[in-house]
Amino acid sequence: MNKKVAFQDLGQRDYKETWDYQEQLFREIVDAKIKNRREAANLETPNHFLFVEHPHVYTLGKSGDINNLLVNEAQLKAKEATFYKINRGGDITYHGPGQIVGYPILDLDNFFTDIHKYLRFLEEMVILTLAEYGLKGQRSDGETGVWLDVGTPFARKICAMGVRASRWVTMHGFALNINTDLGYFDLMIPCGIKDKAVTSLNVELGKQEVDMEEVKQKLLKHFQVLFEAELTSQKSEV
């Protein structure tokens, strides 16, 4: 089992461009697995982990309801935002500047073949990171992602998640709000869940801006421990 994970920080990248790149990496892993099965090729399957910051964009998962986007095309354009219907699970979500988006493209045969455990590990990575800032991140029953003050009238989501997996290969991932303009969440019903607020790390800490690089390093540290992975740096190819 190959537990090495090639990490790339793509910086600020267009959503569709990054989605296409994810698909390319995903397909390379799946193709290797198919060849291994059909030809007993015994190829080592790679793993990838991407960090990226997108321009304003709304994405709708396979089972999502388009009515959860509360603006039309003209209004989207006025807000300099784009919209994509995509092939992950979950409903609608927003990505934008000041948000860390993480895309693990892993062959879970290298780690464990359990999607539930995979999602819980991604949540735990975020929960452990928030704890380093004195915040108690929590899971909410039936709602993937990481929340604060679950079970109170003040419950608010700080990290959204939505993944796709095929042949135990993952793509898509999580979006953690750090210095995010929360006004953009008013243009949708986040994840299709009404009457639940959204927050960001800088708001919770009462800071104008949180060091995004510092948060990234904490996330990577916890990812390596949870997945027993060895991260290797790789230059961006997109």
- Catalytic residue positions? 191
Partners of 157 in beta bridges: 147, 198
Residue ranges for the known binding site for substrate are 88-95, 160-162, 173-175
Token pair in block for residue 32: 């290797």
Token pair in block for residue 128: 């452990």
Q: What is the spatial distance between Cα 233 and Cα 29, in angstroms, rounded to a whole number?
A: 18
Listed as own residue / partner, the contacts of 145-154 with beta carbons closer than 8 Å and 24 or more positions apart are 145/174, 145/191, 146/176, 148/199, 148/204, 154/197
As a dihedral over the C-alpha atoms of residue 172, residue 178, residue 179, residue 185, rounded to 10 degrees, the angle is 60
